[in-house]
Amino acid sequence: MTNIGIVGAGTAGLHLGLLLRQHDIPVTIYTDRTGEQLREGRLLNSVAHHHVTVAREQALGVDHWPVKEYGYVCHHHWVGGPDLFFRGDFRKPSRAVDYRIYQPTLMGDFEDRGGRIEIRTVEAEDLEAISARHDAIVVASGKRSLGEFFGVRAEKSPYPKPMRRLMVGLWTGVARHEPHGVTLSISPGHGELIDIPMWSFAGHVDALLFENVPGGDLEILADARYEDDPAAFRQLVLDKLRVHHPTVFARIDEGTFELTRPQDLLQGAVTPVLREDYRVLPNGKVVIAAGDVHSVLDPVIGQGANSASYSGYTVGEEILEDRGFGEDLGRRAGARRRERVEAVSDWTNLMVQLPPADRIIQLLGAMSQNKALCDEFTENFNDPVAQWRDIVGSDEIFAAALARHSQAAANA
């Protein structure tokens, strides 16, 4: 009987493992932390799942946070001017749940359905020994040695260093925005703020993700130490919001604005990278990359978890078709997911480009004047292939999209 090993218990690994268990395939997930350790640890990220991913969770029977209660329905945009505050609507809601709640819950689902979780550290040199137990290995852990094992696709990895320095924390005291949605705020030359309504241990809170341009006025947020002086840290955040992201600041009650807990803060940076799809071990077993180890994304457009879910699930679909293992499985899985994975990578890299591409500046202005264009751009967070193909993929594509929407508005 087919037996699959998965390294990593993130979105890609869990969604893949749950899919395979639906078909009674033996699966072992190798991860270095228990669910309890995840719950007690530092904030992992601020990811949101768009409705294409929620639909996948529903198919897997793990939609524990219905969007009617936990979801949001739109993106509010502010791009640095009094007339540049506009909204794009989704067709179906998205949702954000603290991964220290999400991942342990799905780990429990996986074990309840007969999956096996082995708590251990796995490095690249361990893969051959592990592979002796399985027909194929899927690596969905972003650990450095595992990333280096696959190698970088240089033509899809244009940046040698991080393009943003990050700080995200969970905060109380931010008034709900109506319609309920994420706020995307841009401070030209200094960075972006993504305000995400999230369900966490403190209930409904706001994840404030600051994407700070290196050398800009907001970069200090990536270095300031909350532990040294919590009051000063809080004031620094307020001061930067007041100057750079005033539409979010306007919703803050300074009397109740607080970081929920010291461990509800994460600072760092990522270098965007797209790696090779797979490698074949000396014993002939295939090792397939999925999730963060395959595609490292800056979180500016919130595609990491959605892309990871798609990537892992797609590998699972290829396994379920049962057309053999070895290198051919790696080729088939890579081809099956390539268009979407590359579109996500290309779109993300475009959005963090410095200075910004002219078409992105023009797009933001056009969306402020054309609701249909803004809605299409927003809905395409569920379909990065359409986003790249129909709106942002090149100057010519954008010009055609603008002409299409301008004509539609004229005919309305």
Average pLDDT of the residues in 112-137: 97
> Two tokens at 187?
């401070």
> Among residues 211, 233, 268, which one ends one of the domains?
268
CATH number reported for the structural domain that contains residue 195 in this entry: 3.30.9.40
Angle (CA) 147-148-150 rounded to 5° is 75
- What is the C-alpha separation between 46 and 99, in angstroms, rounded? 8
User: Is the pLDDT assigned to residue 80 strictly greater than 90?
Assistant: no
The percent of residues above 90 in pLDDT, for the chain, comes to 95
Last residue of a domain, one of 268, 297, 324: 268
Is position 13 within any domain?
yes
* CATH label of the domain that carries residue 30: 3.50.50.60
- 153 lies in the same domain as 285: yes
261 lies in the same domain as 369: no
Overall average pLDDT of the 293-322 stretch: 96
Tell me: pLDDT of 235 over 90. yes
How high is the pLDDT of residue 84?
79
Which pair of structure tokens corresponds to residue 281? 């071990």
- The region of weakest confidence among 81-95, 223-237, 310-324 is 81-95
Q: Is pLDDT above 80 for 1?
A: no
pLDDT at 100 over 80: yes
pLDDT band per the 50, 70, 90 thresholds, residue 83: low
Task: Give the range of the structural domain holding residue 233, as residue numbers without chain letter.
Answer: 165-268
How many domains, in total, are found in the chain? 3
Question: Mean per-residue pLDDT for 80-88?
Answer: 81
Mean per-residue pLDDT over the chain, rounded? 96
Q: Which pLDDT score is estimated for 323?
A: 87
Q: Convert the pLDDT of each residue in 22-49 to its tens digit.
A: 999 999 999 999 999 999 999 999 999 9
Same domain, 23 and 129: yes
What integer is the mean pLDDT of 119-131?
Answer: 97
Asked, for residue 258, whether it belongs to a domain, the answer is yes
